[in-house]
Structure 1
């Protein structure tokens, strides 16, 4: 089967087998999901597929892809970048656009810094230049704002409990329970239309990936200095109500990257491709198609 035929593909890599899923037609945009450990399907954006060939990565360690011998450790940005390099070469279309969501944004930044030759542009969607102490403090502040906006909601306490338990995640079941538990804080207006979001919540799948390398050391992100040397043009996207990778970090990325555009989705949290799908897809498609003429 040709590498860009619609459907499911596999690619043998060092350490295991990567899967990827091709949907749509048009210029190629490779999409890397977040977590790390979330199944790729949450990131699917049919509105993008109307104008782009979207190659959704199912990273090693997640879903039906293979697992490292050191699982749940060893899934570093460097390793994911090597896998992206192999995948992009395999696609055989030259330079592509790379879209990374959340942790996938961290991977996209790394790849753009280390393999700019493969990229026509990048979309940093709900990303951050750092995962240091300030990153955790910012999450705590944004969750506090969320709690203040919903102080009378009877459903608030379980959400805050889910956030408090994130540090104790140690299994796939823990990871999935945490993802579902914090979801109301990740989506602006979740409690205004719970029925709309029920299928998304029920369809979430996640694998526990530790965030440590194979030797047990944290795979910390600190791209502040390096991003000044990024050569690929970037579209930076965040949601106004994103409690994880919100406006502060998007503005930092935008200011650090030499050629970038910032889009703040004013009615979205962490999942703008679902919360404001038309605006999200329109801006991404415009960025990619203009980039095809660079």
Structure 2
């Protein structure tokens, strides 16, 4: 493992390099604000050099003067440019998870020449009311599947409260509280998955630009114009950016590949690591 820091307009941008292999995969975590190590992919690292971005505003990376506002996709894309410059590869693969998927598809549209391929992992073409309605429907499905579980009310309460919390420590507790909903079968695998839950953390990022306006995603046209080889990965039981959105992205992006992880929710790299790694290996092999 190595950790490096570059500067983006005078602000520290950290990233971490794990694994080995000729192909370089740059990974952007979700949230925004979720800790970079929540995206660790040991199975992928066996054959690939993975560069984990610690996004601006989180962890040991620097904060914008407007923190917690101002962390737009354009800002994250500028930081990615500096990371790629420092990595020194002519072209890399870019993976974005959840909100990181929004960043990855934005970057792929604006800087296709820097990418050998892009992995849109639990991403979506839009945010806003349409996305929220689908998430509410999926949370309802999760509740029905787990009806009678004594822990279900606490998970649903955490989901309902997350949008009103701005304190980092309280937000981290709430994220850990709702994480069972992010897995396909958390309680059946609790002994295995509880350490991930206990170690996940998050920094509050508002989702507003520097002027206080929502940084919304309306990417259907953008996705239809992507020219970078694209792999779309979705989880059958994902309540946030689920199968509906993965299939829509696949339909929008010309020539894209689609993998639905049948026993995963929002965290397939944890739930089905071998199948997840195989999908990425197939992308790399097909684009050499």
Asked whether the two chains share a fold, i.e. TM above 0.5, the reply is yes
**Which whole-Å CA distance do the structure 1 matches of 2:201 and 2:189 have between them?**
22
1:15 Cα deviation after fit: 4.8
Picking from 81, 84, 98, the partner of 1:102 is: 98
Picking from 205, 208, 211, the partner of 1:212 is: 208
The count of residues paired between Structure 1 and Structure 2 equals 287
1:210 Cα deviation after fit: 0.5
Q: Is the 8 A contact 1:15 1:67 kept in 2?
A: no
Match of 1:14 in 2: 9
**Structure 1 stretches of 5 or more lacking a match?**
1-5
Match of 1:168 in 2: 164
1:14 Cα deviation after fit: 1.3
**Which whole-Å CA distance do the structure 2 matches of 1:108 and 1:251 have between them?**
17
Picking from 155, 166, 171, the partner of 2:151 is: 155
Match of 1:197 in 2: 193
1:225 Cα deviation after fit: 1.3
**Which whole-Å CA distance do the structure 1 matches of 2:10 and 2:143 have between them?**
42
Large movers: runs of 4+ above 6 Å: none
| 3-state SS of 1:165 partner | helix
1:182 Cα deviation after fit: 1.0
Cα 1:64–1:134 change in 2 (3 A) is same
**Which whole-Å CA distance do the structure 2 matches of 1:114 and 1:183 have between them?**
33
**Which whole-Å CA distance do the structure 2 matches of 1:274 and 1:38 have between them?**
15
Match of 2:116 in 1: 120
**Structure 2 stretches of 5 or more lacking a match?**
none
Higher mean displacement: 157-166 or 136-145: 157-166
Q: Is the 8 A contact 1:126 1:239 kept in 2?
A: yes
**Which whole-Å CA distance do the structure 1 matches of 2:236 and 2:167 have between them?**
31
Q: Is the 8 A contact 1:105 1:125 kept in 2?
A: yes
RMSD: 0.9
